[in-house]
Structure 1
Amino acid sequence: MRTLGRGFRESDDGSASPCGEKRAGFRTLVYGAQTVAAAGVALLVFLSVLTGRESWFARLLALACAAALAVVHLTWFAGGRAPRAALIAQALLGFGPMLPLGAAWSTATGFFAGGLLLAYPPVRAVPGALATCLAAGVVSAWHGVSVHAGLAGAVTSGVAALTLFGLGSAARLVAERDGEVRELKRRVVAEERERFARDLHDLLGLSLSAITLKGELVDRLVVGRPAQAREELAELLVMSRRALADVRTISAGYRELSLDDECRAAADVLSAAGIRVTVARSGIGDLPREVATALATMLREGVMNVMRHSTAHWCAFSVSTEDGTAWLEIVNDGATGAAGGGAGSGAGLRNVHDRVEALGGTLTRETGADGTHRLVVAIPVCRAG
């Protein structure tokens, strides 16, 4: 048993459990019923000939033709659109023996009528199937010199055609459904991989950058200032434990970030990088979980990009709530245009932009002529809640 996405379990044989087992059982039932129906119609045709006065050679020929009709139907018409050669074969096997055998063979023409219904759209197939049944009735009436025989031939041909068409259509629907389920599984796997990659970038990028900075700082302090180095090492251990917790949330498929904790962590990371930090927070205690997590993720991405894609000496960020909208603003110097766009650059920005849009929010960024970069996120609290 393996897991596809959140809560979607699939058994080793490819069927989901327990719904997959029911679907597999229904699929087996439909395919089995279709096979039995085709074989049953062929058997009825042969028994009608067998009980007549025909010679044994004619009976053996009838058996071979009936079996061929069933094989052609199950091979071509049960699985998809049949080639024209298959229809021609059904027409020849259906009407050819009928000329000498008469009404006893009329049921066999149902294979051709059912094949038409399965092979063509209704606007073309229905008239053709009706004409086939009518022709079977006419030949039966002519051969038996009886209107009753003609009516029986047309009806048995129609019943056989509708039976084969109904079960063939059901088998095709089951096959299409199986294809949709396989596509759904493929999409679930792709979405899960995308989620894992996105969360891995968003959650661990800043933590690993902070650990690297702290490690470099400890390396510089360990000889000349061991006491401060121990303090910085203690903070590094806290950051590493936080990164480990993030890894666990990613693997569990669930994550909820504390906006207050992320504000403190962002300030610590920027300070460790030698960047002067200004933090402002107001009215964020009652934010919905989704909004707080989105802002915390955006703050991580923005701070990480400040360190990676700018030469910032100072950075100011603020988180607030005003008029039913949650705001996050990150401003820093040292941006160098599109290539070094400070808080606005980085591959992860597309991820958080999608998160913000999913909550009905907006994300804007701009770079001033003096190298100041500003990133602003606005998310409506009421809509998200």
Structure 2
Amino acid sequence: MVQPGRVRGTRPHERAEERPSSFEDEQSGTRTLVFAAQAAAAAGVALLALLPVLIGSPDALVRLAAPVCAVALAAGHLAGFGRGQVRRPVLVLVLTALLGLMPFGPSWSTAGGFFAGGVLLTFRPVIAVPGALLASAGAAVVQAWPLASIAVGLAGAVSAGVAALTLFGLGTAVRLVAERGEQVRELKRQAISEERKRFSRDLHDLLGMSLSAITLKGELVDRLVLGKPGLAKEELADLLVMSRRALADVRTIATGYRDLSLQDECRAAAEVLSAAGTRVTVARSGVGDLPPHVATVLAMVLREGVTNVVRHSVASWCAFSVSTEDGTAWLEIVNDGVAGAAGDSVDSGAGLRNLRDRVHGLDGTLTTEVGADGTHRLLAAIPVRPLRELRGRRAS
């Protein structure tokens, strides 16, 4: 629903593109920082498991194999759970489980945190929490078993658990940041799409009657220019006024400022119908007391209704009335010619859909009906309430 009262010169589509863009720049930096922290945590856990092995083990084969396993653990974890995604979790979990159980000594229990952290990142909490606890305890038991030391086993389990929680926390942070970035991109796409729809809808609704009137005036001037040049000159002056009005409408669409005067639209509609050779009857009461947002929507309904009468019907007369009663603003347009009205045309259908969207956005109703005698009736009813109250009702 188009909301009136925007500040002239401020373009909604520019805000829709600029704000998400700057926010995305910030999000990109955050994603990079969080992923760097995740990589640093994986490297740190690998080093905590590796350094005591390199310092304390006299076995050259162990000193050679341990760094390879540590690098494989960190790389495998980042490949499977880096950047907020879970890729081939079964393969990664098998790899980290096997490498975490390598018999490199008690300090290697910390490496079991890769498997436990992967379990937390892969499964639902009801499965992940018990699985991670068992994995941490199992890694500690395997490494401490040869020493038969409860203290060493307990320290290894705590070390593996802390490593698992660290990897899980940073992995979750990366995932949340990535999801937030995707949400921002989706909101940007939606904002741009909505602004395009708004522009298309306003272009149709605001310019339809103006262009129809210009066409009618141009045809009339063409018929009068030879036989009645004086009258043709008067009609040409009216055509220039209409063209300037259409230009002003284009500017209102571009700026997003779309408050319309219902009284002016009633006069313009009567002029257009008269120029088309249609007898016009107008009834107005309480128009000046309507809130701007209600008057604007009714003015757009009037424009579209009169445009359809001029373009899509063979009406000899048209009557429209605007009134307020029991807190509701009413607009009724009735004409006697619907034969050949092209009621199923693309333009007519799009116009009515646009109008229904606008009227429904103010909790109103829009109905059309064709009588047995060939009369066509369009009726719009909108509750007269302040815009602030309407927004409050929506928020609640």
Q: TM-score range by the shorter chain?
A: over 0.9
Which of 135, 140, 145 is the aligned partner of 1:142? Answer: 145
How many angstroms apart in 2 are the aligned matches of 1:265 and 1:140?
A: 90
How many angstroms apart in 2 are the aligned matches of 1:146 and 1:188?
A: 63
Task: Specify the alignment match of 1:88 in structure 2.
Answer: 94
Task: Specify the alignment match of 1:266 in structure 2.
Answer: 269
How many angstroms apart in 2 are the aligned matches of 1:205 and 1:115?
A: 61
Mapped contact 1:337–1:367 kept (Cα < 8 A) = no
- Any residues of structure 2 matched to 1:2-41 within 5 Å, and which? 5=13, 7-10=15-18, 16-17=21-22, 19-41=23-45
Task: Specify the alignment match of 1:114 in structure 2.
Answer: 117
Mapped contact 2:328–2:382 kept (Cα < 8 A) = yes
Instruction: Give the TM-score of the pair, scaled to structure 2.
Output: 0.90
Shift of 1:51: 1.1
How many angstroms apart in 2 are the aligned matches of 1:58 and 1:89?
A: 18
How many angstroms apart in 2 are the aligned matches of 1:293 and 1:223?
A: 41
Deviations 1:299-344 (A, max 9, x none): 00000111122110000101111221111010100113985489x9
Shift of 1:137: 2.1
Instruction: Give the TM-score of the pair, scaled to structure 1.
Output: 0.93
Mapped contact 1:77–1:168 kept (Cα < 8 A) = yes
Deviations 1:46-74 (A, max 9, x none): 11211112333321211111011111111
Is 1:363 aligned to 2:366, yes or no?
A: yes
Which of 111, 121, 129 is the aligned partner of 2:132? Answer: 129
Q: CA RMSD in A?
A: 2.0
Larger RCO of the pair (alpha carbons < 8 Å, separation 6+): 2
Is 1:237 aligned to 2:245, yes or no?
A: no
Structure 1 unmatched runs, 5+: none
SS in 2 for 1:16: helix
How many angstroms apart in 2 are the aligned matches of 1:345 and 1:247?
A: 20
Structure 2 unmatched runs, 5+: 1-10, 390-396
How many angstroms apart in 2 are the aligned matches of 1:111 and 1:383?
A: 60
Shift of 1:252: 1.2
Mapped contact 2:49–2:107 kept (Cα < 8 A) = yes
Is 1:177 aligned to 2:183, yes or no?
A: no
- Any residues of structure 2 matched to 1:1-385 within 5 Å, and which? 5=13, 7-10=15-18, 16-17=21-22, 19-78=23-82, 79-83=84-88, 84-95=90-101, 97=102, 99=103, 101-336=104-339, 339-340=342-343, 346-382=349-385, 384=387
How many angstroms apart in 2 are the aligned matches of 1:359 and 1:4?
A: 20
Mapped contact 2:114–2:164 kept (Cα < 8 A) = yes
Report % sequence identity: 66
Mapped contact 2:113–2:161 kept (Cα < 8 A) = yes
Shift of 1:112: 0.2
Residue identity in the other structure for 1:380: P
Shift of 1:345: 5.0
Number of matched pairs: 375
How many angstroms apart in 2 are the aligned matches of 1:346 and 1:303?
A: 14
**Which is further off, 145-154 or 294-303?**
145-154
Residue identity in the other structure for 1:118: L
Residue identity in the other structure for 1:60: L
